[in-house]
Amino acid sequence: MEATLRVLNELERNGVISRYAIGGAVGAIFYMEPFLTYDLDIFVILPQAVGGLVTLSPIYEALRQRGCQEECECMLIEGMPVQFLPAYNPLIEEALAEARETLYGETTTRVLRPEHLAGHHGANGARERPAALLNLCAGSADG
Amino acid sequence: MEHREIELLFAAKQRRRLELARLPIEEKLRAVVRLQEMAAPILRKRGTAVRCWKLEPSSHA
């Protein structure tokens, strides 16, 4: 996981992505009890492409050059399936802008705030998590 | 079973969830991997391809 985050930080430093934050189940686990998941959802703001076209291709290409492979809808980064999700509406743009910085081990990363995670899970069919996340909003995340 | 006993059971369950939520993220993800390893054989039997994570040996256990 830490090696995966280091790769994501490098993509951001190199301008392949403008900003990223952990979302999805792993994002929720920063605030909640652990539960089963198999992939890491990463929300990204992409640099403006020529013609305004939003595409994940530059991320995939940069990762392929590092030797990462695709697996279904994910890229395998340091053994972890990572799914990239571009900011596709104003709420997710806000969520990325307000994501909190935290540490995983010794590596800096960002995780969406619980209210944004709850909003996104609610919109995507993970029915039980939003209420639990909002209950935990008063609590503190790790790091 | 009395209503009061059920309330105590749910309260204990909630306390446990909060305790787990307060664990360091590194420890929580190690628990996720254990869950993945438990669920993977069942999911694979059902035809779902899953990959269990290999977390780095932790220096911050």
pLDDT tens column, B14-39: 999 999 999 999 999 999 999 999 99
A98-128 pLDDT tens trace: 999 999 999 999 999 999 998 876 556 565 6
Question: What does pTM read for this prediction?
Answer: 0.86
Rounded to an integer, what distance in angstroms lies between the CA atom of residue A112 and that of residue A76? 22
Residue B11: which H helix or E strand, with range? helix B3-21
In this predicted structure, the answer to whether residue B55 has a pLDDT above a threshold of 60 is: yes
Full set of structural domains in chain A with CATH: 2-133 (3.30.460.40)
Rg of chain A in Å (alpha carbons): 15
In this predicted structure, the answer to whether residue A129 has a pLDDT above a threshold of 70 is: no
The ipTM (two decimal places) reads 0.85
Q: Tell me the chain A residues in contact with residue B18 when contact means C-beta distances shorter than 8 Å.
A: 139
Closest residue in A to B37 (Cα–Cα):
A36
